[in-house]
Amino acid sequence: MSQESYPEKKSWDWDKASREIADVSQWTASFPEVQEFAVSPDGERIAAIVMTDDEDFTVCVNGELWSNRFEKAWSLKFSPVGILFCIGMNNDEWTVIQEDQPWEETFDYVWNMKFSADGSGVVVNVRTSDGYGVALNGNPWENKFEQMRSVEVSPDGKRAAGNVQLASLAEGDIFGFKKGVWGLAVDGELWDANFLNVWDCVFDVSGTKVAAEVRLLSGSQTIAIDGMPWDQSFKAVWRPIFVPDADDVIAPCLTTDGWRLLINGKPLWSKSFNQVWHTVFSPNGSKVAAVVSPEFGRWTIGVEGNVWRNTFGDVVLAPVLSPDGRRVAAVAKDSGKWTVIVDDVPWGETCDMVWDPVFSPDGIHVATRAARGTDYFMIVDGKIVTQAFDDLREPVFSPDGSKLLIKPIENGRYIRRIVDLKDLV
């Protein structure tokens, strides 16, 4: 879910300029171990997994401890709507804990926690004595499988899918492998087709269709939708995505002409590239962009098939599009330094690390957090606009785009700050 689509953002506190939420320096002084901080989308809560003096683990939220204790705990995350989750273990039984309330079901292991776009669904991979499966909102699939390596959740949080191994294979059993022992399970039910391999899958917007990368034969891959492969096959494919509000699927595919972006197996962009991946639609579905390599060792962004002039030697991360689709930004690295490039114009500031950029609702402004050494800064429209902080989390624009929520830790204290954009730019 993009931050522009949080319906509850209007109810957040956008008036009070600065509030201290917690003195986290007291946590590090009080507990033998404090793990990485997590901050809620609205900035009202900061949390961390901590070790108690009894060498148990629990979660500290705004200075208050959860009542439950665990032998192990990890993967502390706030959902898109601000609900706090983590994965915990006691007596060799793992489960998910939601706001200090463990799920009723326990498992031999739990991992790969993900949230639906609307925040209503939380899904995890699970392992039990019966095999591998999925639990969605605490409800495990009835069917279990030989192996399972991934999981995806539908945008509405009601469905889950992932690649599964259908039968066991002895070490070196190439003949068994060639029969195709991988498939895709949706809500625990298998596609009718099986393949040599199945990789990433994705739901459409409605949650009714699923597309996945599949391997048909050695050196032959394609995209399958609800178990039906495209008529065309390719040397390689990357993660597909559905066209918003449509049944059409686009995916980067390696053709005889090079990497192309295809729709339903046919060229969408006329140009071919050394590489195409990280395909993204704008939030309103009007424009598609992807990371492309126009020549070996150089990376940039392609938008509607048009390639940016500036290229980078290290890496370019997935593009971020403005809500109206008119503008595109991406994080790029060249010669060991990170920056942001917006509409093919690199920012002048370079840093040791830069996180995903965020557009204002009207698409005019771009904000991101960045780090140099141990110092964290907020950058807006290419300019450093804050002091150096001990830590900093993702910024959020107000619904009218006039203010920015900043979430820094300064001098050991987590401060929730609201600043007028006109004071920063």
Write out pLDDT tens, residues 337-394: 999 999 999 999 999 999 999 999 999 999 999 999 999 999 999 999 999 999 999 9
Domain boundary pick from 321, 345, 369: 345
Write out pLDDT tens, residues 186-240: 999 999 999 999 999 999 999 999 999 999 988 899 999 999 999 999 999 999 9
Question: Would you call 8 helix, strand, or coil by DSSP?
Answer: helix
Token duo for residue 11: 């109810």
Segment holding 25, helix H or strand E = helix 24-30
Q: Are 250 and 261 in contact (CB under 8 A)?
A: yes
Same domain, residue pair 322 and 387: no
Question: Would you call 280 helix, strand, or coil by DSSP?
Answer: strand
Same domain, residue pair 367 and 402: yes
Q: How far is CA 111 from the centre of its chain?
A: 15
The C-alpha atoms of residue 425 and residue 401 are separated, in whole angstroms, by 13
Token duo for residue 312: 């980078």
Number of structural domains found in the chain: 4
In this structure, is residue 25 part of a structural domain? no
Report pTM. 0.93
Let me know the angle formed at the C-alpha of 421 by 419 and 425, rounded to the nearest 5 degrees. Answer: 125
Domain boundary pick from 229, 252, 276: 229
Give the number of residues written for the chain: 425
Q: Partners of 125 in the beta sheet?
A: 111, 134
In this structure, is residue 12 part of a structural domain? no
Same domain, residue pair 240 and 298: yes
In this structure, is residue 11 part of a structural domain? no
In this structure, is residue 55 part of a structural domain? yes
Same domain, residue pair 312 and 410: no
Same domain, residue pair 200 and 263: no
Same domain, residue pair 392 and 424: yes
Question: For residue 151, what are the domain limits?
Answer: 108-229
Tokens 């840093």 found at: 351
Tell me how far CA of residue 329 lies from CA of 102, 217, 290, 325, 382, in angstroms. Answer: 39, 37, 11, 11, 12
In this structure, is residue 10 part of a structural domain? no
Same domain, residue pair 150 and 252: no
Write out pLDDT tens, residues 327-340: 999 999 999 999 99
Contacts of residue 173, Cβ cutoff 8 Å, sequence gap at least 6 = none
CATH of the domain at 270: 2.120.10.30
Write out pLDDT tens, residues 73-130: 999 999 999 999 999 999 999 999 999 999 999 999 999 999 999 999 999 999 999 9
Q: Are 73 and 48 in contact (CB under 8 A)?
A: no
